[in-house]
Structure 1
């Protein structure tokens, strides 16, 4: 069995490699040759933590496995990231455990890759202003991945705790883009692309605040009850997601579904757009929304790529198991 510890991940895989892995697995999902198993995600009644499993199988690449972990909101006080996870890969022919891979950085990279993919296929080509809602650990990965997809000229941002926005400002300066802290009204009025990456359980952004032509990547809602944008905004948008089944149960679409504002058939799998089997944005005035719920196959795809890189570079740790 191969072990790739968390400390080794950063030196092994790039954001570009994660983008390719996630893009390919989304297309495989649309071809029904890769599928995710039902998600288990629950509050454990201790440390305010959410814990669960995401798993799946890709018949094309024969990638089989699961990610175990969740969200520990008090970890910052302990010098740890709130998201903690580990990926387990299994041999599809025998069922034996093939690899154990640290999943924290990979989770941030694969989540950022998903929103970047949505920008590539759904945002207007002339998008110039990037809006960020949220300034947690994953936000900087979202920002770095997003700016690779359009020629953005400015970054504007909002967060419940404004003092945390400094990390986004620093990354913006490193990239060479002006940065400004704004309120939600101004963010919605100016941004061509908006990425939300929060742990909110109540809507932050309203339909009245978003102008025509905006692309939204809602990346924080991955649990029943979570919500980043108003259900009316979801209903007013052309809807895309990583997996429809998750979008309507644990994703941003769950609330619009519950209120009867949209139907399951209104949501398009992003993989179908990637594969050319469905259209993306239909007009410059259309509001598009990507409901990024996070699927197990994303984690498995990037973890498998890391294992291959570790082997090729001679840094894989092999243990008897």
Structure 2
């Protein structure tokens, strides 16, 4: 049964943060994100141009990401952004809401809290890249960044490879024990290291910061490493040395975003790689690109965060919430 057909008849639902946390698992998020990346690569889904602006108040970045997935019948947008002072107010720095619409009628079908979903879909994105690109024998996971998103990333990553140890670095070392506690909970050894030592040990590296300068240099990354660059989603942001792109086989969630607001913006700007050197991760999922070709190859995934990820996961949340009777349809009249 097409859920969106039901929605047109009985109004929209509001799916709050608590409900999202209750019903959406990492497996749900992984499946939704993997499917939408595959749809994008087939040409069955596309993202709308991103609007992202510094609003000149509270140092906030605010914007919109949207799109349409013909195969999943997800249509809508996520509105929200980053308020750096929120932690002091007991709130998450990232704040967002997903609006879903019935693609047959244009009527609103759901309002879905986007904070938890943004965290779990971002972790699912890097997790998908690890599943399809990292060496099967990867044992050491490197985490660059220890903020709110890092625990989501760690929990999702360890489900894809038999990791035994986590090595981590953060600009503010006092935040590392919290990430170490998550690693311990997962039964993994944890070590706080320098960035150079992280590169020397890690088989998979996830960067998840809000940096505007390279935190990992190309020479520090050993052959065979898979890197998921997950923090850069705005012009000017940067987490890794652009020279790393020249050493790696590069993949992205969406090439257009990767070269404009993603990590690849710097390497492309310096002429180290061209747009044609980047492959959509969906091509690997669909089997039209082989992905990793050998054990010595460095693979890099530029996860800029696309609106279709949000819509895919929010659509699952709305569907499950309806099925489980956790929401009551509302009409606007």
Scaled to the shorter chain, the TM-score interval is: over 0.9
The counterpart of 2:307, out of the listed 256, 278, 296, is: 296
| Structure-1 separation of matches of 2:227 and 2:131 | 12
| Structure-2 separation of matches of 1:93 and 1:101 | 20
State the 4+ residue runs in structure 1 displaced beyond 6 angstroms: none
| Structure 1 gap ranges (5+) | none
| Structure-1 separation of matches of 2:65 and 2:315 | 15
The answer as to 2:82 corresponding to 1:55 is no
8 Å Cα contact 1:69/1:85 also seen in 2: yes
Alignment of 1:222-301 (within 5 A): 222-301=233-312
Aligned twin of 1:34:
45
The answer as to 2:125 corresponding to 1:114 is yes
Aligned twin of 1:46:
57
Aligned twin of 1:127:
138
Residues 219-238 of structure 1, C-alpha deviations (whole Å, 9 max, x = no match): 00000000000100122110
Q: TM-score, normalised by structure 1?
A: 0.99
The counterpart of 2:200, out of the listed 189, 196, 200, is: 189
| Structure-2 separation of matches of 1:61 and 1:229 | 34
The counterpart of 1:211, out of the listed 196, 209, 222, is: 222
| Structure-2 separation of matches of 1:116 and 1:167 | 21
| Structure-1 separation of matches of 2:226 and 2:297 | 8
8 Å Cα contact 1:134/1:158 also seen in 2: yes
| Structure-1 separation of matches of 2:183 and 2:83 | 28
| Structure-1 separation of matches of 2:328 and 2:92 | 24
Aligned twin of 2:322:
311
8 Å Cα contact 1:221/1:227 also seen in 2: yes
8 Å Cα contact 1:4/1:317 also seen in 2: no
Number of paired residues? 321
| Structure-1 separation of matches of 2:328 and 2:312 | 19
SS for the counterpart of 2:22 is: coil
| Structure-1 separation of matches of 2:120 and 2:204 | 19
Give the RMSD, CA atoms, in angstroms: 0.6
| Structure-2 separation of matches of 1:85 and 1:62 | 21
| Structure-2 separation of matches of 1:93 and 1:266 | 37
Residues 89-112 of structure 1, C-alpha deviations (whole Å, 9 max, x = no match): 001011111100000000000000
Residues 61-107 of structure 1, C-alpha deviations (whole Å, 9 max, x = no match): 21100000011111100000111000000010111111000000000
| Structure-2 separation of matches of 1:131 and 1:58 | 33
Q: TM-score, normalised by structure 2?
A: 0.96
8 Å Cα contact 1:133/1:194 also seen in 2: yes
